[in-house]
Amino acid sequence: MERRVVITECSAITPIGYAKDDIIKSLKEGISGVKPLRDDGLLTDYIHSRVFGTVDYPIAYDFKRLYRKTMGPVAFYACQVAKDILARAGLSQEFISSGRLGVAFGSTHGSPSIQRHIYKTFFSNLKSEFSSIGAVDYLKSMVHTTAVNITRMFGITGRVIASSTACTTSSQSIGFGYEMVKYGMQDAMICGGADEYDTTAVAVFDNLLACSVAYNDKPECTPRPFDRKRDGLVVGEGAGAVLLEEYESAKKRGANILAEVIGFACNNNGGDLILPNIDGITTTLRLALEEAGIKADEVDFVSAHATATKMGDVIESQAIAAVYGDSPLITGLKSYMGHTMGACGAIELILTMYMMESGFIAPTLNLESVDERCGMINHTRKLTAVDTNIAAIQNFAFGGVNTCLLIKNGSAVS
């Protein structure tokens, strides 16, 4: 059994806004969400990169203690975007708890701030007679904390998939959720990813010389995907969730169809865990087209992974050129908010849907002078009014994991 799968709701908490209108405004006006790195009292002094894609606006959470007590900051993000899409979808509680709705949601490694709290207990309070690891610390920090806090809050009894593959966490979540619905294992899936403010991730990339360090006094000028003066990625935070539904039932209940997921591919480079791999990436992009049953020239827009590392952008440009030539518009959305890690695939898909719906494609921010090694593809250099029928969202992760999601504009779904 193969069924069509549509996206009927979405919500994102991003460094460039939470409400759809705020995000669209930032994309149209070229507003960056990259801010100075906040002092965390631990690692900040040792990190060379002093920038972070920051969610610096208040979010009015309204979660009862019953739910809050097992949530670290990453689960707050995840539950908030899940709550948004469920509230808007208006699904019955009977369906939500029927076992036919599942959750595919992940984060890079649970809640780093709670893990830090646990380590502090280990190393600082050993002499204190009464201190112990709190009963809820594991539930707050474990790697599937986002997915199961969502199931708990809404009484969801279907499947749980908790991808944790760094930068492909949420693109895998969406892809695996799509497969669950497509092949009839579930009728609907809440999919996405989240990551909280975390200097550990910055330190890791900083030590690998992969973080941006040249724009510490001008955070909004970095990251600079595909630009000659790019000097690395900027870590960010946020969350994104989408509701996937089987097409016929979504149509029957009169759901607003934002997009149809028409293809997904996921593979591994089968070798080095860090270096980008042209063969692995190219294969992923081709497999997604094959799965969707479309030709490369039908794709109008590619949301590139584009982290702004020196080699990553070059390899990705080569892969795009090999598969698509210079036809589709290419934008690196991380230029607006940095690399939101486990959330990036979901956030970049949601931003792509916002642009599709609003009839524009935003340019890659800070792309002032294209690196000639990235020059063979059709970079979006200015805000472009255009109808996008089919878009590709591609993401690549440490560990050699590659994903590509292909979506069709909801207005063209029939």
Residue numbers at the binding site for other proteins (CB under 8 A): 64-66, 69-70, 129-130, 132, 134-136, 139
Closest contact distance (angstroms) between CB of 91 and other proteins is 24
Assigned token pair, 5: 């799968």
Nearest to 263 by CA among 295, 235, 241, 236: 295
E strand segments, 205-306: 238-246, 259-268, 301-303
Rounded CA-CA distance 158/99 in Å is 4
Catalytic residue among 305, 374, 379, 404: 305
Q: Which residue in the list 10, 79, 144, 167 is annotated as catalytic?
A: 167
List 339, 374, 379, 404, catalytic entry: 339
Tokens at 316, concatenated: 């990705």
Shortest reach from residue 133's CB to other proteins, in Å: 10
> Among 213, 177, 196, which Cα is nearest to 7's?
177
Q: Which is nearer to other proteins, 131 or 207 (CB)?
A: 131
Alpha helices for 266-309 (secondary structure H): 278-292
Residue 305: active-site member: yes
Cα–Cα distance for residue pair 339/204, rounded to 1 Å: 13
Nearest distance in Å: CB 341, other proteins: 28
The minimum distance between CB 118 and other proteins, in angstroms, equals: 14
The minimum distance between CB 129 and other proteins, in angstroms, equals 6
Q: Which residue, 75 or 341, has its beta carbon nearer to other proteins?
A: 75
In the complex with other proteins, the residue whose CB is nearer, 128 or 414, is 128
CB 147 within 8 A of CB 104: yes
Nearer to other proteins, 14 or 70 (CB): 70
**Is 191 a known active-site residue?**
no
CB 239 within 8 A of CB 85: no
In angstroms, the Cα distances linking 164 to 10, 108, 220 are: 21, 5, 29
Nearer to other proteins, 130 or 414 (CB): 130
Please name the residues in contact with 330: beta carbons below 8 A apart, sequence gap of 6 or more.
Answer: 301, 302, 304, 320, 364, 377, 378, 379, 380
Which residues are tagged catalytic? Answer: 167, 305, 339
